[in-house]
Amino acid sequence: MITERDLAEKFSVVWKQHFPLLTSNFMRVFNEGQVETINTNAIPIGNNIRFDLVSEAAFNVSKTLYEQNISWDSFSLQSNALMKSIELTAKSIWGPEFKAEELLLTIEELDETKKISANILEFISLEASDNVQFKPYLKGYGILPDMIADISIGNTLYEVKTVNRNYKSSDLKQVLIYLALKQVTSDSNWEFAGLYNPRKGTFCKFNIKSLVFNLSGGNTTNETFENFLNSLSRDVLLDAKF
């Protein structure tokens, strides 16, 4: 099944057709002018860290800590709960085929998981909204499947990228896919969207209508998103056939 990452990294003709101004130069200016620091502490990648496992585990732990209103220390003392969270994370990354010893995090990996989780929770608190939803569900459109975004805070959808780099166009494209699905399949919409990196402690936030207007060359949000999803569905279907 095709994923949102596949959609964001491929189908360049469709992206250029509907968002012609989403270029490498745009992303350079975007990273220089739109990205701000929000967390107190950045978290450099340590040695011999399983990057994907730590990143996903930290996000999942953050979800549990926030929703249950408990601290990391309280959660980590419940070793079964922590191991269950890591196991679910491993399955989402590697599938059901993994060895039990792969679930054991090193001391360094646990420390990074704790720090990244702390940054995510700090970010949520600084956004100051009681309306927080982890992993909001998005209904599919055409042959595009249902998807799960990262986190909705108030009237803003954030894509979380726990990386040691600047934001890339594929990161922004992934957000646009989620926003397009929300626009054409739901009665309610987000007003803003953004990217958040808990490892670097940086984020950006933008008005959706303004961004789409600028990237599409002056088209409306409704028109752009509907035409984009229709074109993307056709290309996915053709790609599947051949």
Q: For 1-35, write each residue's pLDDT tens digit.
A: 688 899 999 999 999 999 999 999 999 999 999 99
Given a cut of 90, is residue 93 above it in pLDDT?
A: no
Average pLDDT for residues 177-188, to the nearest whole number? 92
End-to-end Cα spacing for the chain? 15
Given a cut of 70, is residue 213 above it in pLDDT?
A: yes
Return the minimum-mean-pLDDT range out of 69-73, 160-164, 215-219, 228-232.
69-73
Q: What is the mean pLDDT of the chain?
A: 91
132 token code pair = 């927080």
Q: How far apart are CA 198 and CA 192, in angstroms?
A: 19
pTM of the model: 0.93
Burial degree of 109 (CB within 10 A; 0-12, 13-18, 19+)? buried
155 token code pair = 């009237």
Predicted pLDDT of residue 1: 67
Q: How far apart are CA 114 and CA 14, in angstroms?
A: 40
Average pLDDT for residues 110-137, to the nearest whole number? 95
Instruction: Write the pLDDT tens digit of every residue in 27-52.
Output: 999 999 999 999 999 998 888 899 98
Predicted pLDDT of residue 48: 86
Q: pLDDT band for position 170 (50/70/90)? A: very high
Please give the share of the chain, as a percent, with pLDDT higher than 90. Answer: 69
Average pLDDT for residues 148-159, to the nearest whole number? 97
Predicted pLDDT of residue 242: 40
Average pLDDT for residues 222-240, to the nearest whole number? 85
Identify which has the larger pLDDT, 231 or 241. 231
Given a cut of 90, is residue 82 above it in pLDDT?
A: no
